[in-house]
Amino acid sequence: MKSPPNWPPGSEPNRNARNICTPGGDTWIEGYGLQPVHPAHKYIRALAPEGIQGMESILVLTHADETGATLTKASLEAVTAGLALAVRLSAPLSIGIVAADATAAANSLASTGARLLAVTGEAFAQPRFATDAAACEALCRAANATIVLAPGSSRFTRVAAAVAHRLNGFIDTHITTIAGTEAVEATRWFYRQRIEAVLPRDARPWFLLLAPGAHASFAAGAGSAQIEQSPGTRPESRTTVTGLRSPQQGAQTIRPDAKLLFVAGAGWTKKQPAGQTHVPEAADLILGLLGSTSASLGSSKSLVDQGGEGQSVLPFLTHLNQIGQTGATPRHPKGLSTCCHGEEPHVVGWRFIAERRAISLDPNCGWTRGKADVVYVADAFPVIAKLNALLTPAKS
C-alpha cells in the first residue's frame, strides 16, 4: 500500500489521497506503521498515534473587503489569533486568502512568515455561497489544516459550517479566546453572555469562527510575499451579483467599529417635568451627538418596542439597535447610556463595553447599583444639548 503523499511529520494525512486505504481496514503510513482506517471514510482520518495526534497544523481563512484587495478588519483579527496559537503550539501556520486579487493582501501579511495560499479571480470578488464555500474548501485541503480559524463575518459565517461538513470536520462559532498549550481550548459565551464555556475538542479539522472585536487586528505592513494559488474551481452557481445597495449616507446608525456606544432609553420619549413629551427635540439631540462623535447607536428594548404600541418613536431606531438579552452585545471601548433605567436584561448586552457611563434622572436606577462606572443623576436633555454645543465647534 502506498504511503500518503504530502504528510509532513505531525500533520494530518493528506485528505485528497483517497486511493491509499480501504475503509474499515488498516493501512501502512510511512513513519507511523500500520494504522486503522475509519470505517465511514474512504480516506484516513485521525490516524496519527498518540503524541503525534496532538500536533496541529493551523489555517487562518481571510477574505478581502469590498475593494476586492484589502483584508477586512475581522480577517486581520483572525490573523492575530492564528499567529498567537501557532507560536503557543509550535505549529505550522498557513493563511488562506479569498479575493479578486490577493497580491496586496498577501504582501500585507509577508511579515507573518506564514505559508500564504490564495483562491483568486473575479468569481471570488463577491460574497456568494457557492464560490466562497468552494474557495474555503480548496484552501483547507491545500493546507491540510487540523485547526481552521476564520472571522465570524457574514461572508464566512454563511459558508463555514458547510465547509466543515465537506471536510468531515466540526465547527464552533462566536469564539472569543483560544487558549491552551497542550491542547486547544476555545472560549465562547452562552445564554446571552451570562455563561462562559471553554471547549476542547478531539474532532479534526476543527473550525473556529472568531467573534469580531475579540482580538487586536494584525498590523498589516508592506512586504513582498510569495503566494501559492489554490485551484479554486468555480462551481455552478445560480446567483449573479448585479450590484450593491447601501443605506443612504448617514442613515446607518449601527457602527461596530465606533469607539463609543451611545444608548437611548425610553426616557427620551416620556413626559418630562413640565408634563410634555419632546420627541422631535430628543431626535435632534441624539442625531446631533451621533454626527459629532460618530458613535454607534444602541437602544433599550422599551424604546424600540414603542413603535408597535402606537406611541411616538424615534424614526431612526429599529430592533437592530436593541442592546441586551434579546438584542445585541456589541464591543466598544466606551458606552454612554441616556434615559435608560439600566435593568439587567438590558445591561447584560453591555458585557463587552469597557468603560460605562449613564445619565438618568432616577438616583435609584439600575446603573447606580454597580452597573456603570460613572452615573450622572441629571436631565439628559440639557446635558446632551451642552455636549453637542461643546463638540460641534471642536469638529468643524
Ligand X SMILES: Cc1cc2nc3c(=O)[nH]c(=O)nc-3n(C[C@H](O)[C@H](O)[C@H](O)COP(=O)(O)OP(=O)(O)OC[C@H]3O[C@@H](n4cnc5c(N)ncnc54)[C@H](O)[C@@H]3O)c2cc1C
Min CB(301)–ligand X separation in Å: 3
Q: Beta strand 260-264 with 296-299: parallel, antiparallel or unpaired?
A: parallel
Min CB(332)–ligand X separation in Å: 16
Nearer to ligand X, 99 or 365 (CB): 365
If one counts every other C-beta atom within 10 angstroms of the C-beta of residue 92, the result is: 19
Quote the CA–CA distance of 52 and 10 in Å, as a whole number: 5
Nearer to ligand X, 138 or 261 (CB): 261
Min CB(247)–ligand X separation in Å: 23
Min CB(382)–ligand X separation in Å: 9
Nearer to ligand X, 135 or 304 (CB): 304
Min CB(277)–ligand X separation in Å: 10
φ, ψ for residue 348, nearest 5 deg: -60, -25
Nearer to ligand X, 136 or 380 (CB): 380
CA dihedral angle for residue 259, residue 260, residue 261, residue 267, rounded to 10 degrees: -170
Query: Which string of b and e fits 53-86 if b means at least 16 CB within 10 Å?
Result: eebbbbbbbbbbbeebbbbbbbbbbbbbbbbebb
E strand or H helix that includes residue 119: strand 115-120
Min CB(87)–ligand X separation in Å: 39
Min CB(316)–ligand X separation in Å: 16
E strand or H helix that includes residue 84: helix 73-89
Min CB(185)–ligand X separation in Å: 29
Nearer to ligand X, 27 or 253 (CB): 253
Residue with cell 445560480: 238
Nearer to ligand X, 204 or 341 (CB): 341
Nearer to ligand X, 160 or 336 (CB): 336
Quote the CA–CA distance of 55 and 129 in Å, as a whole number: 31
Min CB(329)–ligand X separation in Å: 9
Structural contact between residues 182 and 166, judged by C-beta atoms closer than 8 angstroms: no
Nearer to ligand X, 101 or 343 (CB): 343
Nearer to ligand X, 66 or 281 (CB): 281
Quote the CA–CA distance of 108 and 131 in Å, as a whole number: 24
* Alpha carbon separation from 229 to 112, 175, 236, 240 (Å, rounded): 18, 29, 20, 24
Quote the CA–CA distance of 347 and 339 in Å, as a whole number: 14
Q: Where in 241-378 does DSSP place strands (E)?
A: 260-264, 296-299, 332-338, 353-360, 374-377
Nearer to ligand X, 162 or 361 (CB): 361
- Which residues of this chain interact with ligand X, rule CB under 6 A? 265-267, 270, 272, 300-303, 322-327, 339-341, 343, 345-346, 349, 359-362, 365, 379-381
Nearer to ligand X, 15 or 332 (CB): 332
CA dihedral angle for residue 336, residue 341, residue 346, residue 351, rounded to 10 degrees: 40
Min CB(252)–ligand X separation in Å: 21
Determine if residue 332 is left, alpha or beta; phi over 0 gives left, psi from -120 to 50 gives alpha, anything else beta. Answer: beta
Structural contact between residues 358 and 341, judged by C-beta atoms closer than 8 angstroms: no
* Alpha carbon separation from 114 to 118, 140, 223, 368 (Å, rounded): 12, 15, 13, 49
Min CB(3)–ligand X separation in Å: 56
| 3-state SS class at 185 | strand
